[in-house]
Amino acid sequence: MQLSSKIRSFSRSAVQEHVSTRVYFRQVASVSMTPTNCSTKVPKERAKKTSSGLISTRHQVDPKKELSRILRDDAAVKGVERKANSQKYNTLRPKTVLDALDEAIKDNQWQSALKIFHLLRKQHWCCCKLGRFDMVKRIVLEMSYLGVGCNTVTYNTIIDGYGKAGMFEEMENVLADMIEDGDSLPDVYTFNSIIGSYGNSGKTRKMESWYERFQVMGVQPNITTFNILIPSFGKARMYKKMSSVIDFMEKRFFSPTTITYNILIETFGKAGRIEKMDDVFRKMKYQGVKPNAITYSSLVNAYNKAGLVVKIDSVLRQIVNTDVVLDTPFFNCIINAYGEAGDLATVKELYIQMEERKCKPDNITFATMIKAYAAHGIFDVVEELKQQMISTDVGKKRLYTKQNKKRQEEAY
């Protein structure tokens, strides 16, 4: 496998060369991760007093205040460090975590800094998850300064983030660094991230090329790999290759899972190939693989798109005789199907069943029903649904989402 040999931003050797200089260590130790709002301008009166000796040029610090600040910083670091030992803290404020990391580094509390850094990686707002790729290099340098090298999980996280963002050159560069590192070799998660990024972008040739490369590297596919290949070929309408993947799975004794069958049913359904979709569904049941709410949602959407309302009735009859757990997305798609067919009586009945099954209606549920009743001029029901939507958790959640988004933007 030939890979570019140019110097890359994540090259381990480049990082080591950079951090080996004394200048680098002085810079890292002195740079704070939090922004400052202090003005650098000196008022004229103060400048005169300073030059005349009325004000000492040496910084005066109240010992009590300085001690108080040190204790507060230490408490903050310990507080964040305690949260690092738990798995549930993944939505902390960015400033809180970064400040604690900064203080731990300044005070040479390396064990605390490492714990806080691992907590940082778990945050939902962290770098790749929010597309903050400008921070990736900075964090890798911080890791290097702390003596922490990138392991397989770190490399995979960065590769997956770049891939989902469509930054393919950067993704391949990080993979090259991972291989050059030698300590952290690519695994099946690396494999799936690379081919998944190209497959989701419709770059099937690149996807196939990398599939072969990983085989040469000795990385073997798993069921998730095939679940990535099937919809990628399906979106590109490459049905022969999609079928060849299924045949390969059967020859290698990879048993298709519910996810695999759901992907096939959804792919054929979206393509309008109803007969092929029905064949897959029959095979699914014959193989003893249990359908779930996603399976039935895909069937309903396909039948609705093809105008086969009778088949939607048969889906409902099948569900009655099973113990499948239905969810809000399923009710949304079936309410939409009967709404478009003009069967408002069934729409109302399904809405009642939805509440009986403890499935909370969301904004899609209300929007679908409002659209159906408005199309038939029943505006009193439309107004009633609007008021109901505002009074339920849906309206409150929408308001909370807007407020939370605003707070996150302010935090950055």
pLDDT-derived band at 129, boundaries 50, 70, 90 = low
Residue 74 binned pLDDT confidence (cut-offs 50, 70, 90): low
Helix axes 94-106, 63-84, angle to 10 degrees: 120
The rounded percent of the chain whose pLDDT value lies above 70 is 61
pLDDT band at 26 (very low <50, low <70, confident <90, very high): very low
Q: Average pLDDT, stretch 17-32?
A: 36
The answer on pLDDT for 381 being more than 80 is yes
Q: How far is CA 179 from CA 127, 142, 214, in A?
A: 23, 21, 12
List, in order of start, the domains of the chain with CATH numbers: 8-29+67-149 (no CATH), 151-254 (1.25.40.10)
pLDDT digits (tens, 9 = 90+) for 114-124: 766 666 655 54
For the segment 306-326, the average pLDDT, to the nearest whole number, is 90
Q: If pLDDT is split at 50, 70 and 90, which confidence band does 55 have?
A: very low
Dump pLDDT digits (tens) for 344-377. 999 999 999 998 888 999 999 999 999 999 999 9
CA distance 199 to 175: 17
State the average pLDDT over residues 305-328.
91
33/103: higher pLDDT: 103
pLDDT at 294: 96
Q: Answer yes or no: are the C-beta atoms of 34 and 98 closer than 8 Å.
A: yes
Give the residue with greater pLDDT, 9 vs 412.
Answer: 412
pLDDT for 97 equals: 63
Q: For the whole model, what pTM was predicted?
A: 0.63
Least confident of 38-42, 137-141, 311-315: 38-42
Q: Which of 100-104, 159-163, 294-298, 397-401 has the highest mean pLDDT?
A: 294-298
Summarize the confidence of residues 312-339 as an average pLDDT. 92
Mean pLDDT of all residues belonging to the chain: 75
